Structure 1
Amino acid sequence: MGEDGIRRSSDTHAPSPVEEIEETFVEEDHHDEEMPRVVITRRRLIASVVFVAAVLAFLYFVLPEISGMKETWDRVADGDHAWLAAALAFEILSMASYVALFHGIHIPPGSRISLRDSYLMTMASLAATRLFAAGGAGGVALTAWALRRAGLPRREVAERMIAFLVLLYGVYVIAMIVCGIGLRTGIFNGPAPFGLTVLPAIVGVVAVCLFVPLAFVPEDFPERIERMAPRRPRAAKWLRRFALGPASMRGGIRFAFYKVTHPDRAMFGVATWWIFNVAILWASFHAFGEAPPLAVIVQGYFVGMLGNLLPLPGGIGGVDGGMIGAFVAFGVGGSLAVLAVLAYRLLAFWLPTIPGIIAYLGLRKRVETWRREPAAV
């Protein structure tokens, strides 16, 4: 069965209650939809200034006074330039993997969206992610807007974006489970504190058990609820709320399963994006000292990434503190952990922001071109 068979044929059947609800929250004419922008209110501006000032004050006045941290800052200039150059190369490779994965999942065959357009969307969404917290909601909004303006149907955009997230973070969850259990059982070399090995593995297993069954929810589940509503109105009321999530996610999860069972070249980006990101951190450790075992780097990286869910401006501080704390708990020296994590964040988080802003402007021009061109059939 091809891709078109995996996706729902929503254009050839009467709309379900879920589809009618989705129609309610979308403008009828999506061509008038504005590009997502950051709304700078007085409260947001004051909060951002206070937060940045507090971080800078801590870094420059408090942290150097902590025992051992003054020597840590003195070591920054002594980093091995060869290893830092390797980390930069890994960052370039990781971005290439991400763009290839984005294009392979989001863009259907025959679309007028080119690989260059996918690059613009990817980098622009990264810039938007820096401006929002909660795991990159700004990047998701910008990506959905651009795909819609390119002519993709709303339902297909939603399903492909869900498939992209399922594939990308499926690797994340599996890595936490495998490394956590492997470290705890001694299969992998390195220390194995319970809170950083078994607990994340349990969280990963629970996540898999919650999401995988959604792919098997019947397609006519909303219609079944409506048929039982006259007999059991109270149960139908609660089932309607439950049906919204599975009905919207079912097609995306099934499409992700299809891509796994029918891999193409773009699918290599699912694993290589994470591999190269971990390699950036690995090279950063080598630049300032002796790197911990590879399994420890992988587990500390993925556990620390959970800090991206904290409601901080752009996630700043959450991931940094999470990774540093995880590596210290694994027995890595505090100064080495600080240097390696900050170097990683500089390369993987801040460096792509510059081309991302440029891509954001380029994407606006590209969308204006699509506005004047008829969409491909």
Structure 2
Amino acid sequence: MVQVLAFLSMIGVPIALAVERLVKRETVQLVDAVGAATLAYLAAFSVNVATSHFQDSAVAQAVGGATPMQVQLAVGVAAVTILGFSRSQYRTLFYSAAALGGLAVVLLGQDSVTGVLLSALLGRIVAMAWLSVRGVLDTRPGMGRILAELTHDGFRAHPGTVRALDPGTDGARRFRVSVTATETHHSFDCLAGHKRAPAAATTPTASTTPTTPNTPAAPPPTPKKTLDLSVLDQSQRAAYLAPRIWQWIRLRGPVRRRSFFSLRRTVESEVLMAMAVEAAGIRTPRLRTARQVDQDTALLAYDHLDAPRVADLPDRAWTPALHGGIWALWQHLRSRQLAHRELTTDHLRLDAAGGLWLTDVGYGEIAAEDLLCRLDGAELLVSLALRVGPARATEEAVDALGPDTAASLLPLMQPILFSEDTAKALRRHRAAGGRADIVGSIRDRIIALHPEADVQPVSLERVRPRTVLSIVGGAIAFYLLATQLTGFQVPELDTWQAWGWVLGAAVASGLTYVAAALNLLGCVKERLSFRTTATAQVAAAFAGLVAPAAVGGLAVNTRYLQRAGIPVARAVTAVGGSQVIGFACYLVLLLVFSAFAGKHRQEAGGLSAITPSATVTGVVIALAVIGLLVAAIPRLRAVVVSRVKPLVTDIGPEFLQVARSPRKLVQAFGGAVGLPLAASVCLWASVNAVSGSEVNLAAMGVAYLVAKAVGSLVPTPGGIGGVEAVLAAGLTAAGVPSATAATSVIVFRLLTWWLPVIPGWFAFTALQRRGAL
């Protein structure tokens, strides 16, 4: 019974929609719907015929057996995709019937969930393909229908004056049109003006022609005005749905922008915001009408404001009085708990009398939290800084608001929280070669005026793109790691010699933290505690659990140097210098290990053999060729110099100061060489412990250094997946059996990455309690 009702509904709804289109004489859309439905029927029938001949195949079984396609579902979806739903009841009935019918066939064992979903997807694909070939018929209400709606609210539009404007938020169509108020609407305005004296003063007055008692009063002149129309289409709003959903997932708390799926709720929110702003005494274009044109379209009409945008004002107009007025407007919005959500100079107008007007208020929120109001202030300050420069914008804001209020904007000065237009403006500023970081300059100037200001950003980001990338990379890495560890065997450490190698590997792993501490100490001229610095390197092992390889260590070291009293700029420079020295020593060790490994030939089938490293040789030759090309081509040379020069300018002076101390030089280069050398020894000892025989140390060094380079490119914590895969491949190339190589890699990673996380957590929390991190 359920199947029968579902079938009738899925076929009946498209038929009802087709009859409705036929009555409206929309024959082109009706023909398209019939054609798409026919193609969907043929496609579903063909799939069923094909799978019936190969019903025992894995593909046929996966999609639902011999006849996986529900023909009526595919036909119905194709038809309604073309016709569209003129009423919400039709949409609810169709999708409910489709869900019940699909559930029934699955419970009765006639099809699978995959088959039902594929049937609906097939109908959708066929319909979209038909539209792509035939072209999309615009079913949205035309301009004639929209202008006709204005007559219901007492406005007679002049079609010849219609002018299309740039689309608004969520893709709303915008127009400008001249209208004449009908007698009914004029009488209503006069009545409203009689009740509200202030408003009556601004309305046009009646004719001053003298009258006598016997002469009837002349009718008031018909006022003519210009309206700005905003047409909200549900189909156009759907195009902006994906970015809204991503923002809703990425952000948390009240900063998430509203994205109402209901057109009615969107219109109601915009109307309420417009009324609230006007009731607050803020100049804003008056909302004249809000009407529903059809099921998926709504119309809002505002008075046209003939005033320039503040962003377009000439430089001479940017007086302290203008800045003060802008910030007074923001303070008034904040006092009334009104959040604009896009408060920039593009949405402020300055009339001829010097009054500020607020426009595009429809996307705002009433009864807003103070967090949203402060976010408006932060975005307004950035917008002003983009126009007049961060120095003047910050000074004017502090003068108008005071240092405390201006400083309260800093935690919310995060580009991810700003509107799309402001974020794009910041990117254009950087792309144009802006000398200063706008947000950073504002922050530095406010801190200079208010040193006690809380500059810690408010954590409102739930998911970062780096997190998504890490999850995807982790899944790929897990797959690669699983394929490499198919031959994993539990190591049999049943001899004292094997346990001796494990102990040696553990000691070598611990020496890597000592070497990292020496390397960092050698790059700063201040005298720091070796014990605390080494503890910070252990803490970096814990930070690496939630960050890609090397990123966690850089963050911990920078923070440690800051807490040690070193300025931020010098702390970043010192950490960068340690990385440069480490990279130089890395290249030297790679060449040395490769040379020694290449000399060791296989003689008797032992585990100590490796062929000459053609890969390393190729890399060196490629680097040499690139260097020659850069030196020979002026344009490439200019690009490289422009990128390298800032690095040398920042690190060079700091490095020269450190280089005056031979002790510091020994620490920096000794730590940079000792770290990869100790890690190579750890890998060598791990392989010896598992295999029971000695392998070539140089070969293990090459394998480790190459794996380290790959791990820094993999966007997963600690380079999971990439490091294991490259290490296993390198050991196999060195002559180690694949099962032994996989087991050795696990032992090595346990000693150098997994197990240090435990003491790393204790070190991390201890340093935080002491204020050293």
TM above 0.5:
yes
Q: Distance in 2 between matches of 1:82 and 1:148?
A: 41
Match of 1:163 among 577, 588, 604: 577
**Contact 2:703–2:730 (CA<8 Å) still a contact in 1?**
yes
- Higher alpha-carbon deviation: 179-188 or 90-99: 179-188
Change (3 A) 1:78 1:242: same
The residue number in structure 1 matching 2:711 is 308
- List aligned pairs for 1:222-233, cutoff 5 A: none
> Per the alignment, do residues 120 and 63 of structure 1 end up closer, same or farther by CA in structure 2, a change over 3 Å counting?
closer
Q: Which whole-Å deviations, capped at 9, do the CAs of 1:108-151 have from their partners, x for residues lacking one?
A: 13xxx433432343222332223222x42232123223322332
User: Which segment is superposed worse, 317-326 or 194-203?
Assistant: 194-203
Correspondence for 2:529 = 114
Q: Does residue 677 of structure 2 align to residue 275 of structure 1?
A: yes
Amino acid aligned to 1:329:
A
The verdict on how the C-alpha distance between 1:293 and 1:42 changes in structure 2, with shifts beyond 3 A counting, is closer
- Confirm or deny that 1:152 pairs with 2:572: no
Q: 1:185 to 1:251 in 2, by over 3 A?
A: farther
Query: How many Å separate the matches in 1 of 2:461 and 2:694?
Result: 42
Aligned match of 2:738: 334
Question: Structure 1's 313 and 242: CA in aligned 2 closer, same or farther, altered over 3 A?
Answer: closer
Structure 2: distance between partners of 1:37 and 1:205:
46
Match of 1:91 among 497, 503, 509: 509
Mapped partners of 1:35, 1:86: distance in 2: 45
Flag the structure with larger Rg. 2
Task: Name the SS of the counterpart of 1:316 in structure 2.
Answer: coil
Looking at structure 2, the residues matched to 117 and 97 of structure 1 have their Cα atoms a distance apart, in angstroms, of 14
Query: Is contact 1:305–1:323 with CA below 8 Å preserved after alignment?
Result: no
Q: Secondary structure at 1:306's aligned position in 2?
A: helix
Shift of 1:243: 4.1
TM-score for both structures, normalised by structure 1: 0.67
Report how far residue 284 of structure 1 moved. 0.4
Stretch of structure 1 that moved more, 235-244 or 266-275 = 235-244
Contact 1:176–1:201 (CA under 8 A) maintained in structure 2: no
Distance 1:240 1:47 in 2: 30
The structure-2 alpha-carbon separation of the partners of 1:245 and 1:185, relative to structure 1 and needing over 3 Å to count, comes to: same
Sort the Cα spacing of 1:165 and 1:265 in 2 relative to 1 into closer, same or farther, 3 A.
closer
Give TM-score scaled by structure 2 length.
0.35
- Stretches of structure 1 lacking an aligned partner (at least 5 in a row): 1-17, 214-234, 371-377
Which residue matches 1:140? Answer: 554
Given the superposition, is the C-alpha separation of residues 39 and 98 from structure 1 closer, same or farther in structure 2, using an over 3 Å criterion?
A: farther
**2: CA distance between counterparts of 1:38 and 1:353?**
28
After alignment, is 267-276 or 86-95 more displaced?
267-276
**Deviation sequence 1:141-196 (CA, Å, 0-9, x none):** 23223322332123322332122112222221101122224444669984334443
Partner SS for 2:523: helix
1:302 offset after TM fit, Å? 0.9
Higher RCO structure, 1 or 2 (CA under 8 Å, sep 6+): 1
Count the aligned residue pairs: 318
CA separation of 1:174/1:45 partners in 2, compared to 1, >3 Å: closer, same or farther?
A: closer
SS, match of residue 312 in structure 1: coil
Deviation per residue, 1:34-76 (Å, 9 max, x gap): 499997629877876777678778877x667x5xx1xx41435
1:226-259 CA distance string (max 9 Å, x none): xxxxxxxxx9999766643443343355467656
* Alignment match, 1:364: 768
CA change 1:23–1:103 in 2 (3 A) is farther
Letter in 1 for 2:523: I
Does the residue aligned with 1:105 lie in a helix, a strand or coil?
coil
Q: Which has the higher helix share?
A: 1
Root mean square deviation of aligned Cα = 4.4
**Corresponding residue number in structure 2 for 1:3:** none
Q: Using the alignment, how far apart are the partners of 1:42 and 1:178 within structure 2?
A: 41
Cα shift at 1:313: 1.8
Provide the secondary structure at the position in 2 that maps to 1:130.
coil
- Residue 73 of structure 1: SS of its match in structure 2? coil
For 1:36 and 1:187, the matched residues in 2 are separated by 60
* Separation in structure 1 between the aligned mates of residue 578 and residue 712 of structure 2, nearest angstrom: 18
Secondary structure at 1:268 match in 2: helix
Q: In the aligned structure 2, how far is the partner of 1:89 from the partner of 1:40?
A: 40
Give the AA of the match of 1:91.
Answer: S
The structure-2 alpha-carbon separation of the partners of 1:58 and 1:146, relative to structure 1 and needing over 3 Å to count, comes to closer
2:747 to 325, 331, 343: 343
Where do 1:317-332 residues align within 5 Å? Answer: 317-332=721-736
Give, in whole Å, the separation in 1 of the partners of 2:755 and 2:598.
35
Q: 1:335 to 1:103 in 2, by over 3 A?
A: same
Relative to structure 1, the CA distance from residue 92 to residue 319 in structure 2 (aligned partners, 3 Å threshold; closer, same or farther) is: same
C-alpha distance in 1 between matches for 2:459 and 2:628 = 36
